[in-house]
Amino acid sequence: MLTDGALRMIVLLHFHSMGFTPIELAYLFLVYELAGIITNYFGGWLASRFGLKSTLFSGLSIQIVSLTLLLMLDKSWALELSIIYVMIVQGFSGIAKDLTKMSSKSVVKFISSKKKGNLFKLVSFLTGSKNALKGLGFLVGGLLLSTIGFEPSLTLMILLLVGILTIVMISISSELPSGNKKVRLSDIRSKSRNINYLSLARVFLFGSRDVWFVVGVPVYFYSFFSVSEQQTNSTPFFIVGSLMAIWVIFYGIVQAMGPSIINLKIKSEQSLVNESKKWCKFLFITLLIFTFLIYLVSKSEQIQLIITIILLITFGFIFAVNSSLHSYLILKFTKKERVALDVGFYYMANAFGRFFGTLFSGISYQFGGIIVCLATSTIMIMINVFFTNKLSINKEAF
């Protein structure tokens, strides 16, 4: 997650400084997200058939390959060729990230005890620490780009990943399931009503985040802090990377604190479904209010920036609790014999949301700036509320 976050920030800021438009920047990440959809759809089947260790090792190895390929980008290539090449390389990076994430999330189901609340605490900690590391990656990416440049940054990350892969191969538990060759491709799609509705809700939850997070907010910040064409890129790179890093780290910390925030000790499993419904409504109301406020102060760039930062913090807090509840519910709804399949299917929906969020992030910002990004995000959250309300509260759900 550290190198994934760093790579995202390096690619975004480096190619924006080369003159890529918001829509072209979105294109760079579309294959990344599309690869995530495909990877999660088949990844659960691969993990069930060949074992979680094989998908985890594969994910780390493919990320090393993708960074190496990105190093081979030639600055003399035409713009169109550069876009296509980076899109393909980002596709490999998307495969790597989602194989690694799907494998690690599935492992939680096997290592958690049956003690009440333990699964929620463990998955919240894992999800939160993952995102905090990704946020640190944004900071590292902005810092590396502003100090040592594009190619040396990629080389350093390759060396880091080789070390991580070596450590994981040596230390990973031998008790994890090795796979079941009888698992069929037709088993991928979940037959659980709750998992299907939760997956649909996840599409629009993460779409609502990425529609302004992927391109809109970083480009908005970069444009604000780039005072003149004569100014070097290093200062805006560092500022944007730092702001995005602080937000994601904050978001990760809140995710890890999810059980404490909603008073897990006094919550039954059924009431946690109600909590999910309540928190997604909070998110919708928050976006609606702040979108209107930012529209009202659109003529004052400084005030608009301040309100946008306040929105980032507020949105991050409420979104993190929503995401933490989702990550718990998917593991609670599934059964151990289907955990990799259902988690893969669920994170396919997650990647689907990121794909459309990324696409609409570039389009929205290109044609209407940060306000249109937020308006689109609000509509997505409204749809998320609809599907979250479809989750049933009964014993069969668990």
**338-381 residue pLDDT tens:** 776 777 788 788 888 988 898 888 888 888 888 999 999 999 99
Residue 177 domain-assigned (yes or no): no
Is residue 180 assigned to a domain?
Answer: no
- Alpha carbons 304 and 312: distance in angstroms, whole number: 12
Closest to 201 measured CA to CA, from 276, 286, 128: 276
Say if 178 falls within a structural domain. no
336 CB-contact burial (10 Å; exposed 0-12 / middle 13-18 / buried 19+): exposed
Type and span of the H or E element at 113:
none
Give the DSSP H or E segment for 112: none
Phi-psi region of 393 (alpha: psi -120 to 50; beta: other; left: phi over 0): beta
Q: Answer whether 142's CB lies under 8 Å from 14's CB.
A: no
With b meaning 16 or more CB within 10 Å and e meaning fewer, what string describes 288-307? eebbebbeeeeeeeeebbeb
In angstroms, the CA 70 to CA 62 distance is 12
Tell me which residue has tokens 């909603």.
262
- pLDDT at res. 384: 95
Residues 6+ apart with CB under 8 A from 394: 270
pLDDT for residue 229: 45
Spatial separation of the C-alpha atoms in residues 24 and 15, rounded to whole Å: 9
Q: What are phi and psi of 389, to 5 degrees?
A: -65, -15
The verdict on residue 347 lying in a domain is yes
How confident is the chain (398 residues) per 10-residue block, as mean pLDDT? 69 74 75 79 70 78 87 78 82 81 64 55 63 69 76 84 82 59 60 86 92 84 68 68 81 80 65 87 93 88 89 91 85 73 80 86 87 93 94 57
Residue 182 lies in a domain: no
Is residue 179 assigned to a domain? Answer: no
In a domain, 133, yes or no: yes
pLDDT tens per residue, range 141-190: 777 777 777 788 888 888 888 888 888 777 765 555 555 555 565 556 66
Domain that holds residue 146: 2-172+188-397
Comparing CA positions, the residue from 179, 197, 198, 34 lying closest to residue 103 is 179
CATH code of the domain covering residue 167: 1.20.1250.20
Number of structural domains the chain divides into = 1
Instruction: Indicate whether 18 belongs to any domain.
Output: yes
